[in-house]
Amino acid sequence: MLFLNVDDVAVWTELECIIFPSSQRRGGCAIKKMPRSHKSGADGVVSSAGLGRRAELTTPSATNRNGSIVFDVADTPPLRGGECAARKTLSKKLKLTASFHKMQGKRHKSLLFCAFLWSSLCFLWLVPLLLGTAAAPHRIVSVAPAITEILFALGVGDQIVGVTTYCNYPEAAKAKPKIGGYTTPSIEAILALRPDQVMMMEKRPDVAERLRQAGIDVTQVQPESLAGLYDAIRVISEKAGVPDRGRSLIQSIEMQLREVSPKPAGVKPRLLFIVGRTPGTVSDLIAVGKGSYLNEIIEIAGADNIFGAVNLPYPKVGVEEVIRRNPDVIIDMGHNEMVTESQKQAVKQLWKKYPFLRAVQRDAVFPISAEYFVQPGPRVVQAVRDIRKMIGK
């Protein structure tokens, strides 16, 4: 049996509604608190006929689309002092939208609240995933030594599955599978490693496009200055899912550079920095000029670049111009064959052909081959320290 509350619900049939007071109920089923008046409504005809009548509701026989329950109504004897209003209408099915619906409404509200709470919790849980943490790659191919060094400095070296043949720092990078040269990477070798992220410089857009067409996410950076280095660290750390480490690395580099930068005092030593020349000769020289990463490093170290006013990052210069500008210090990393001590001595002998240069007279010619001078990366501080040592600061 179902106990119905007329205050909360509408009760109707297609013909007449049979409603009775709760004090006159039988079998545990009654409709109580009869409203004072009932009028016809859009849902059907509600009548005051049969106020002295009671009916017994059987088990539900059907459920309408709107959730109303349809009961069969059985005829019963009239109440004491009541008026028999039982007619053929009692054989009809009485549709009752009862306080049961009110309880359902409360239940719906509770369910909606729980759903809202659950969705909110799910959203909060998904926020870091949407920001990229969960999307962090697990198989990275690095197509540049500087990128490889940054990835290791960020602590995600274990995610690297491929590097170039020039990626030799840190030591762990040497053991990684090789995908070709810095400017000549093998697309087939990269695809064979099944990466979900390839990080490379902007100098090979054709390679980047082919990798994207293969469905691989490609990130391109071009750190050609200190600002560019910081931007590259930010981008790489975000793509690797460790943006906090990226910010910490940048702050660490900036702090160390401030510590090693000399205070202005006296005349700056004049420096020639060679990054290219014909092996075995002092010809076809390529020096460091204005707007280059190395020029920034030279200035931070406290030296005066003799070609720092030339409006090219790496201008070609003749030995005659070098003689005219007469540097106090020469740093020569013109080619890669300057690893052993004998190779370095051979380079010094080349410059001794010009004994009138102050750098030669002072024995201040320094053959170097450390790649961190020309690869903007986390070891920029080491590059500044080395230059300061060579210029006598």
**What per-residue confidence (pLDDT) applies to 375?**
87
Integer Cα distance of 355 and 156 in angstroms: 50
Name the domain boundary from 103, 123, 151: 103
Q: Is pLDDT at 264 greater than 80 in this prediction?
A: no
Name the phi and psi angles at 18, rounded to 5. -105, 110
The amino acid that residue 57 corresponds to is: L
Name the domain boundary from 55, 84, 103: 103
Same domain for 154 and 82: no
Q: Is residue 117 part of a domain?
A: no
**What per-residue confidence (pLDDT) applies to 107?**
55
Same domain for 339 and 278: yes
The amino acid that residue 211 corresponds to is: L
Integer Cα distance of 387 and 269 in angstroms: 11
**What per-residue confidence (pLDDT) applies to 392?**
87
Same domain for 249 and 189: yes
Same domain for 222 and 331: no
Q: Is pLDDT at 98 greater than 50 in this prediction?
A: no
Per residue in 339-391, pLDDT tens?
A: 788 888 999 999 999 999 999 999 999 999 888 898 899 999 999 999 999 99
Integer Cα distance of 271 and 353 in angstroms: 19
Token pair, residue 21, equals 């007071």
Same domain for 84 and 147: no
Tell me the Ramachandran region of residue 87: left when phi exceeds 0, alpha when psi lies from -120 to 50, beta otherwise. beta
Per residue in 141-155, pLDDT tens?
A: 999 999 999 999 999
Average pLDDT, integer, range 295-299: 95
Q: Is residue 120 part of a domain?
A: no
Q: Is residue 130 part of a domain?
A: no
DSSP 157-208: GGGEEEB-TT---SGGGGGSPB-B-SSSB-HHHHHHT--SEEEEETT-HHHH
Q: Kindly report whether the global pTM for this prediction surpasses the value 0.75.
A: no
CATH of the domain at 276: 3.40.50.1980
Q: Are the CB atoms for 56 and 74 separated by under 8 Å?
A: yes
| pLDDT confidence bin for 203, thresholds 50/70/90 | confident
Same domain for 15 and 82: yes
Distances (CA, A) of 381 to 154, 226, 249, 257, 301: 16, 11, 12, 6, 10
3-state secondary structure of 101: helix
**What per-residue confidence (pLDDT) applies to 119?**
66
For the chain, the domain total comes to: 3
Same domain for 228 and 206: yes
Q: Is pLDDT at 17 greater than 70 in this prediction?
A: no
| pLDDT confidence bin for 136, thresholds 50/70/90 | low
Integer Cα distance of 295 and 373 in angstroms: 11
Same domain for 384 and 284: yes
Integer Cα distance of 334 and 274 in angstroms: 6
Same domain for 248 and 178: yes
Average pLDDT, integer, range 266-273: 93
Same domain for 368 and 307: yes
| pLDDT confidence bin for 108, thresholds 50/70/90 | low
Looking at the DSSP bridge assignments, the partners of residue 317 are 285
Q: Is residue 133 part of a domain?
A: no
**What per-residue confidence (pLDDT) applies to 286?**
96
Q: Is residue 320 part of a domain?
A: yes
Average pLDDT, integer, range 161-174: 95
Least confident of 12-21, 277-286, 317-326: 12-21
**What per-residue confidence (pLDDT) applies to 117?**
63
Name which of 280, 275, 283, 284 is nearest 346 in CA terms.
280
**What per-residue confidence (pLDDT) applies to 295?**
96
Residue 156's Cβ-count burial label (10 Å; 0-12, 13-18, 19+) is: buried
Residue entry with tokens 């009692």: 90
The angle that helices 226-239 and 243-260 make with each other, rounded to 10 degrees, is 160
**What per-residue confidence (pLDDT) applies to 200?**
96
Integer Cα distance of 376 and 293 in angstroms: 7
Which domain range does residue 236 map to?
Answer: 140-260
Same domain for 303 and 195: no
